[in-house]
Structures are given as structure tokens and as C-alpha cells.
Structure 1
């Protein structure tokens, strides 16, 4: 994670105290189109009855180096605002920014034109901005060391050939809290902020401004409390006696309501109180679809209405109406054995079974009418669907049934009945879905004879997983992988596609359709993500479905990719599978995790750099020198399956560096057992022991003495041992431990 920009050093506290309060009457409509353009329309009436309306848009132009227009806005006051940036411009981590504001003559607002550069690294950031209108250049710099942030800012007016502004900032981040002190306006104003994440639902903050010249100060205290995922309470009070309260309520997935009140406590009988009501509506445009429809019985009544609907000619491929029973038998190719069946259930023409068969028949007709390449164009970014519907007899069921490939929806009652997964579902089950906020889940089945490699899956970022449940980490991983690929693939944007396999190599088939529907809806409706369902349990099968794609996986999944048990314990089959994946031109992005942090510590000692590493699979060998001693370090992986191999690296070992995650109290006993077992081996009887109590920068980390006591280090070895608290990220304690070890080895 990159260090913050100088302008954002107090952002956490500021957001808590200012975000979501609005004391006007506001309506905001946010619409996202199929091609990724977001339109925002706002209208607000202030307490003085004045009305301000805004129309804005944001979008990405991948053809121009990934240009992002984050704000393109016009107002009823005649003001035009444009904000845009290009990330990773010229070099990695460098962002070029531009902001243009055209002032309105009605309001005498000034024109603004600013060009900027932002360069971010994990421990420092640099910002340079040139205000073309004011002819002023400004530079900001910020560095983070061991949780302490130091920053400085300066501005120079070219017209006056003089410094126009300067200031500085100092902050300390203690994990769940942050304290910031900043000077502004050429040291004329001092601002101090405090931000504390009390628990997962509660945040509070404080801010005080002090005017050096007048000795005046202004204090604000506030907080936020999330009752649940849909309701948040806000409150703040300042030293002038103003109390502000707000409630943010997510009424539906696309509708949010904000109620705010601003009360003058010192003049409670006065008329300076303010009340606001904000309504935000989010609309996501449906994708263009084409469908073939089968109707029978009373369901045939809707055919005329469908055909007369505007746009039907570009959506409907075919409407079939086999009304007479024998006509329906021939339409579905039903055998006499099926029609005359009495057990296990009697066959019925007005059953869900017939509805499902009609849906499958419609799918076959749609696939025959639309070439695969054309079908792929029905969805944004080539994620294609064909919606296949079948309406059963309305007179025989509770409302007309609408059947997609996996779910039957009751149109009148909005209840759902899951269909059974049976042998009739093809082995290459594929379904895709993306947000439409409609009453149906868009799903498609591709029959066995479809060559899926013809699907244009280019530039697709596939994230396999069970997503039970989907969480923020999945979404952040997708964004991180997307940014990484954009930086190495000549700015090409890879579209995330979440893949959920109905077959799991370890857990078997996912047969609970209600559970499957819940997972898909969480991704599609709640998080607006694209989803694909497959029956591909192994990556060699996934690669055949998604040639030329990039798979984004976690470190544990990467380990399973080369686990022989998935290949019948046959190394030849493993190598053949990897070669097959390679032949499909598939690539992998693997997300590492620090775990205990031993590899990070090793590279910190060798290179004095913080590297974000993968868990060690196998072992690494590195050589580094500290003072007069040359260390050859064998970095051995800690996975369960690798631990029996540790003993093969014990011979001629002078010292053992054992890294413990101080923040993981549940694994301390496990680490203790492994350490005692290690030093029970004869090869380590003369070895020194250095224990690093890592991750001391985290708020709930155990202290080194507590860890030493819990691990009973005194009884591990009779040789010299030492436990050192450290942080691989901040560098604290690393070289102190190495200093002890170098002396112990002399």
C-alpha cells in the first residue's frame, strides 16, 4: 500500500466529521450504462429556497493510455468542472492529473486550470501542481517511517516571484488510531486531528483549528456508528454550540435515504436550525439481450403483448406456441415412456418439469438462430448471455412461471423454486450474469456441442472461488490484479469475471441451488460484478473454457495448482496439465500474504527493502553479510506438507531464526510445538536460536516477553537464545536481533 498524499494526511478524521451530512433537500440519481459510463444528476434546494442542479459523468478511455475522467460536471449556475488523470503515466506509480473549472459570470466565480503530478511509493509520496490561472507552482512531499508520517508543502507565485504559502504535517498511526498536526497558511493556522476506529462498527474523531494571530480556536467532535450494513448513525458537535445529526439508511440495494439536522444549541429558540433530506437512486443499465420464448396453455395470452412491446424486434428471436398436447409432445421430443410415466411422479403437462424442458428447447433454438460470436456481443465486455424463458400454464400454477436455466421465478408472488441438478445438465455448464436490477437472474446453458474456445474471452481477468460469502478482500484483490496487469500489458484493461465452479475438487458438487443463488446475487446485485458458473473443478479445465485469460488466485490456491493429489499422484499428469494450461496461453496473478513474515524479514536484512512476498513454497536460499559475518540463509516454507522436509536442512546449521506472528494468538501454541520439535533433532543441538516476534506494528500484537513465556523458550535449548520484537514493515528490531546473533556466533 502506498503512503498517503500530503493533502490526505488528515483525511480519515475529516471524512468522519464531514461526510454524509447535507442540510438541503437533495435528489441524486446515479446511472451506470452498459459501456461503463456513470452519469450523476443532482438537484438541491437550500434553506433560502435557492436551487442548484448538477449534471455529471465519469468514465474511462482505455484507448488513451487508460485516461480516467473522474468528473465532468455542469451546473445550472453555468459552471463547468472537468477532472481527469492518467495513472502509471510515463513511469509506474506516476499519475498525471488535470482540473479545469470554468467560472460563471452570474456568480463571479473564478476560472481554475491546474496540472499536477503524483508519485506514490510505500514509504513516501511526492506531489507537484501548477495552477495555470494563478500562475503558482506548489510542491508537497510526505514520508512514513515506523508509523510516523512527516510532510511538507510549499507554493511559489511566479508573478510575484515570492513564496505564497508553506506548511508542514506530522502524524502518528497506531493501527486503530491516528493523530495528526498540520500547519497551514504560512504557519498562521495550526490544525490537529484525532481518528479512532473503536471497533468494526464505531469510529470517532476530533479536530481543532488554532489561529496563531488571534489565538482563536474551533473544536469539533464527532463519530459514526453502523447499526448494520444498511443503517449508519452520525453525530458531531463543535465549540460554537452547533450539533449535527444524520441517519443514512439503505432502503433497497439501489435506494438510499439520508436525514440530517443542524441544531444551534446556544440559540435553541432561534431560527438558525437546518434540516435536510437526501434521496440517492442508483440505476444500472440492463445489457442488450436476445431471447427465444416458448409458451403453452394460458401462457400464450402474453404473446401479443410481448410482440407489441417497443424494442421487441431487436430482442425477440422467436416465440413458439405449441398449444395442443400432442404439439407440445412433438415440440419437446418427448418419448411415450415419459408421457405415460406414473412413477416416481406422474407426468403432467402443467408441471415445472415441462417448463424446464421448454426452457431448454428454447435455448437450443436460440443457439441455432444466433451465431456464437454474435451471442457474445449481447453483453458488455463480451460476457454473453442468452436469456431463455418458458411460461407454463398460468391456470394450473400459482401465477405464471418464468424459467431461467437454473431458477423458476413466480411472477405474481416473486417466490423462487430451485430446479434440480441432474444428469441432463451438460458437463460444460456455463452461465454468466451481470447486474441489471431486474426480477430475473440472467443465466445461460451452453450445450455440449458448443466450442467454448470460440468465445472472445480476451483481456478477461478470471477470479475463481467459492465466494461463500463474497467480501471486500475479493473485490480489492480484483482491483489490485487489474492495476497490475494494466501496468505490464501496455495499459490494456482486463475485465474482472468471478468464476464459481459447481464442481469442487475437494468438496464435491454444489447441489444447493438456493445457496448458489445467494452467492451469485451477492456478487451481481450487491457488488455489481460479473459472474460465470462452470463445472470446471481443475485449472486445466478452466483454461480450456477461458483461453488467453489471466487467472487471479490466492497463495493457497497456487499451492494446490501443483499438488499431486489432484493428478492421481502422477507427476507426468501434473506436467501435462501445466503444459495444457500454457498451450491455452493462460497466465496467473497470485496474491501473497505475509503470514509470519520470515521471507519479508530475510529480504529486509539482505536488501534493506520491504518486499511483498508470497508464502514460501519449498525453500529460498539467500546470502547476505552483516558486519564481518556472511550469512547463508535457507528460507523454508511453513506449510503443513513441507514441515516433514525441514529436517533435511538442519545439517551444519549454526543458528535458527524462527519468526512468530505476534498478532496471531491462536497459532502461538502451534509455533511452540514446532519449535520444540525442531530442537529435539540431533543436528540442531549446537545451534543458536533467535526468535523474531514479528508484526509488532499491529495494534493487538503480543509483546516479546509474553511470547517468550508462552513458548517456554528457556526449555527449548541449552545454547544461547534470544527473542527480539520487530516489524518487517517498519524495520524496527530487525538489525538489533541480527546484532545479538552475530555476537553469539563469534
Structure 2
């Protein structure tokens, strides 16, 4: 590591208007130490966390990741860190919040330890700003460095990624071995994505040419989902729902999840690219149906039997039947309706007729007959390669 270059880079960062929150696990703590050891760190670092154990990382993310060292986990860490930076700066600053100079950094690493690792030595670093999501991944040649040298590589890579995000031109030379290569990628947000993420709007059209189209263009029929990925089952549901309602079906993706951090710009881009005109996909900040109805009043929602069951379950309303009933009554007052498709639920193929729903919800539902639709494909299975 070149200390002069490292310190010069960090001094430039400390003199800049950028403020950051950084979270590292499995490796990367050396970068935090270097950031804090150069005078002026209080002008830059809002928070530096090392949730090293699995339970600690789960507490920070507020969910259990599928893989602890992965691109997706680093992305989630960076997004959570960005919103931590935003919250801390809002409380810390006497001036108006400057979202354009906040950074969230997430580093998920698996480095050399006392016990030999079965898998690769690797690191994934995500950086999140209000305009850009970026990723850098590196597989380290196994057993070719001691832990200190691996930490130094990771620290340099983290600081270089921060420099890239903040427009600092200096770069720390990386101690890479023959055959090692840093895989870097980034996505720059459309203005409407940034506004949506920052809460400056609650809905945007996911088609680039129509990103500022008004809700007057809403068809009246909405198919909410993660669409990760969109598959032929979704397309067939939309086709049938269009025939049943007599209206084209619009899709909707909430960038917010009840438990997980918001989707970053990589995720938003990959999902909206699946839709092509005349299909329309709306992006919202509405993870619950009650929130969706406030954006799309009097909508007819396209759902599966599993989804309508969840809408009726008290456990999604803090285990309160009273809160559930109040929410269902509000759905009724918003005059929303549901077209319910059969779905495999816990190895049973269930249609609306098989379900016991509260009367106020059941009367808002129209069943799609078993004879009209059965596709057991799921996005989860497609992602897992099943």
C-alpha cells in the first residue's frame, strides 16, 4: 500500500462535501481504520460499522440473506448504509439535507482465516448514492497472501470505489496477482428513480420514454409483484385478467419492501427492462396493498390465491384482527377489487373457492376458474435454477 497516495486521497475526501456511512463484514475494516486515522474524519464519516457475526449482519439488514458474502448482500448493505447516512445527516446538520453528497458503502468479504476456507477468497463492494449504484467484485488467488495483505487489497479497493463515486482522481495501486481482475459495474438512475428513492414522489412509470407520464394513463387494472424475473405465468395472468376486466393490465413494482432495504438502481433497471410497450410498469414506494390503493384508488388488482390469503392474515397486521379488519374496510372504501388466480400453496393447488376469507374481502374478489389457468412456475424457482 502506498501510504502517501492513500493519505492524499483520504485528505481530499475529508475536504469534500461528501458524507458517508460504511458497513463492512468479513473484511474491509482496514479501510475504516485508514479513513478514521487521517485528521478531518468527522467531516466525512457519519458512521462506520462492522457487523461481523451472522446475527449482527442480520440485525443490520433486518433480514437473513441467502448468502452472506455476495453481490446482493453488499448491495443491500450499501443501500441500508445510504439511508443511515441520510437519517444521521438529517439529524446532525443545521442546514437543509443535501442528498446529492451522501454515500452508503457496503463491503461483504470472505478472506483468509485460521481455518482453511472451502470456497473462494473474495470481496464484493457496493457504493450507493442518490444518483448511482456501483459494484466491484474481486476473487483473490487462494492461499497466495496472508490475511494482512488480503485486507490491504480490500481496503485499497474500498477507498478507490469511494474516490470514484466522489469524483476524486487519485487511485491507490492494487496489489493484484496474475490472473486477478476487478469486475466493476454501475447504473446511473433516471431522475424519476432518484426522486422515488428519496421520497420526492410516490410513483413513476418504469418505461423510460414515459417516466413522467401522469396517473391519468393508468388502465385501472394493476398487477403488483417483484417480477424477479417476469415469466410466462405472469404474462398469461395479465392476458386473462385483461380479458376478464376488459382493460389492459398495468404492472407495478414497489421499490420498498416491508423488511428489506429499497431496491437499488441495478435491481430497478433489470426489472423494468423486462417490460416493453404497450406494456406499462409503474414503480412505487408502496409495499402494502393499502398503500397501493392510495396511489391507485378504485383499482382492480391481479393477484394469486397465495397473495389474497396473506392480505387476510392477521399476522401481517401485527397479529391484530382489529387492525386487519380496519385495513380491509379501508380497501373496501377505496372501492378496489381483486381478480384471484389459482396458485400452488404448500403443495396444494388452491383457487378462490378453496379459501375462507373475511366477508368484506371475499365480496371484492372475482375467481379465475381452475380450468382457465394453471402454471406452477415461480420466480423463486427460476432464480434458484430449479
If the TM-score is normalised by the length of the shorter chain, which range does it land in? 0.3 to 0.5
Q: Which has the higher strand share?
A: 1
TM-score (normalised: structure 2): 0.41
Indicate the structure (1 or 2) with the bigger Cα radius of gyration. 1
Higher relative contact order (CA 8 A, sep 6+): 2
Judging by fraction of residues, say which structure has more helix: 2
Q: TM-score, normalised by structure 1?
A: 0.22
